[in-house]
Chains A and B, each alone.
Chain A
Amino acid sequence: MAQGCSDAGICSINHGFQTEEKQFKNTLEVATIYSLGEADVTYFSPYVSYTKRFNDRYSFTSKVTFSTANGSFGTRSQFGDAYLVGNYTFKEKPNKQWSTLVGLKFPFTASNLKINGYSLPLDYQSSLGTIDLFMGTNLHYKKWDFNGIVQIPVINLNKNSYFREFGGTDDFASTNLFERKPDALLRATYSIQTPNKKFTFKPNVLFIYHLGEDTYENIFSQRESIKGSDGLTVNGNLITNYRLNKQSSLELSLATPFVVRDIRADGLTRSIVAGIQYQYSF
C-alpha cells in the first residue's frame, strides 16, 4: 500500500487470491484507508468490494474506490476506479497451493479534476486515468504466501493538465497528458495465527518495480520523459486480522516504504498508510 497503491491498485489486488472462507459463496468488504503523501497531502480513501465464489476453483471480485485528497491545493473528492478481478485456485497439494488472477481496472475520471478552475497534480487525483490489466499468480506454501503481479496500462485516458510552471509550488512535477508505464510486484507474506485462531498477523514485504519512465507533454507541446520516475519501491506492511465470528472479521493494515523512486510524478507518494477493513461472508 505504501507506494500509494490505493490509487494504482497493484498492492491491494492480491486480496483476490484470498480464499480462506471457502464455505461461504459471497463476501462483502468495506474499508477505509488514511495515508500521508508528499508535501502536505493527506488522503482518506474508502472502498467497497464484493467477492462471489462460484466453486472451490473460481471466484470473482468487484471493487469500487473513492478518494479524498487534502493539502495546499485544497480538498478534492471523487470516485476513483472500478476493479473486476477473476481468480482461479488450483487443486491443493501437500503444503502448497497455486492460484492465479486476471483483472481490469477502469477509471471513473480522466485524472483532470480541478479546484476553482486550477489544474491539480496527480497527487490530488482520485484515479490515474488508465484502463489497466492485472495478471498475477500466488503460491501458498505452509505459512507463506508469495505472489507476483503485473499491472499494465492498456488504454490511457489520462487528460491531466497540471504544469509545475503554473502550479505556484515546486512540490509536484508537471504531469500534463501523463502517460504511465507498467508496474511489477513481488510480495512475500508470513501468517501467524494465535492458538484460539482469533488473531492472524501477516507481516509482508512488497517489491514494486516501475518498468520505465513516465512521460508528459511540456508547455511547448513536446513529450518528455520524467527522469527518475522508473525503479524500485520497497514497502513493509503489517496486517492484523481479528476474527469476530465465523462470518466476519476486522483487519488493520499499516504500511510504509523503505525504498522509493527518485521522482513519483504519478502521485503515488504515501509515506505511511493505515487501513481498517470489515469483511462479512455469507
Chain B
Amino acid sequence: MKKLFLVPILFLILACQEEGSLTQGADTIVIVPDAMLEYSGTFAPTSGINVTGEAKIYLENGLYKVQLENFSVSGGPDLKVYLSKAATPTVFVNLGNLTSQTIYPVPASVNVADYSHVLIHCQQYNHLFAIAPLTQN
C-alpha cells in the first residue's frame, strides 16, 4: 500500500520544468500617460471565485490595450483574458494567458466597440472566473 503513495511523488519528481529564453518573462508593456481611457468595468466573480479590480481599455496611437488594475483573482490552472461580446465566453478575442503582466494589447483588426465585456476564463476546464461589463468613458 505504501508503494501506491510513491506514484504521485514519482510524477512530481519527474514532471520537471526549466525556463528558456522564450519563457523568462515578457517584455514589460506600458501605457503612455497621454493614452485615452475609452472603456472600463469592475470585475465581479462567478460562484466560488474571489476577484477584485477593474478592466480598463486605453487607446494609444490607434491601438487598444486592456489593463487590469488593482487586480487579483483566485488561482486557476489555465486562466485567459478574453475581450468578449457577451458575459459568457461564446464570441471573444483571446488576449492571452493571465500572468503577472497587467496590460494586454488588442489586435489591430478588432473593433473594440463590438465587445461588451472583459472575462477571466479557465480554458482547460471551461470555467468562467470573473466578468467585467464595460462602459464607455
Contact = CB atoms under 8 A, between A and B. Distances in A.
Contacts of B60: none
Contacts of B100: 117
Nearest to A115: B23
Interface in B47-91: 78, 80, 89-91
A232 interface: no
Interface in A94-139: 110, 112-119
Interface string B93-117: 1111101100000010000000000
A75 B96 contact: no
B22 interface: yes
Nearest to B96: A166
B11 A79 contact: yes
A276 B124 CA distance: 36
B13 to A, nearest CB: 10
Contact of B22 (A66, A70, A110, A168): A168
B123 to A, nearest CB: 6
Contacts of B34: none
A66 B14 contact: yes
Interface string A211-241: 0000000011100000000000000000000
Contact of A159 (B11, B18, B78, B91): B78
B4 interface: no
Given A116-B25, A117-B99, A74 B94 contact: no
A110 B123 CA distance: 12
21 contacts: A72-B22, A74-B22, A75-B18, A75-B20, A77-B15, A78-B15, A79-B11, A79-B14, A79-B15, A110-B124, A115-B18, A117-B100, A159-B123, A161-B97, A163-B96, A166-B97, A168-B22, A177-B123, A219-B94, A221-B90, A221-B93
Nearest to B21: A72
A161 B126 CA distance: 13
Contact of B93 (A77, A167, A219): A219
A109 to B, nearest CB: 9
Interface of A: 66, 70-79, 110, 112-119, 159, 161, 163, 165-169, 176-177, 219-221
B80 A75 contact: no
A165 to B, nearest CB: 8
Interface size class of B (residues with CB under 8 A): 20 to 34
Given A163-B94, A163-B96, A221-B92, A118 B18 contact: no
B17 interface: yes
Contacts of A114: 17, 97
A14 B65 CA distance: 52
B52 to A, nearest CB: 20
B132 to A, nearest CB: 18
A219 B95 CA distance: 7
A115 B20 contact: yes
B97 A118 contact: yes
A161 B90 CA distance: 17
Contacts of B6: none
A75 B93 CA distance: 30
Contacts of A219: 93-95, 107
Given A112-B78, A116-B25, A74 B96 contact: no
B102 to A, nearest CB: 14
Contacts of A177: 123
Contacts of B24: 116
A157 to B, nearest CB: 10
Contacts of A119: 97
A221 B19 CA distance: 29
Contacts of B80: 161
A11 to B, nearest CB: 24
Contacts of B14: 66, 77-79
Q: Most chain-B Cβ atoms within 10 A of its Cβ — which of A70, A76, A176?
A: A76
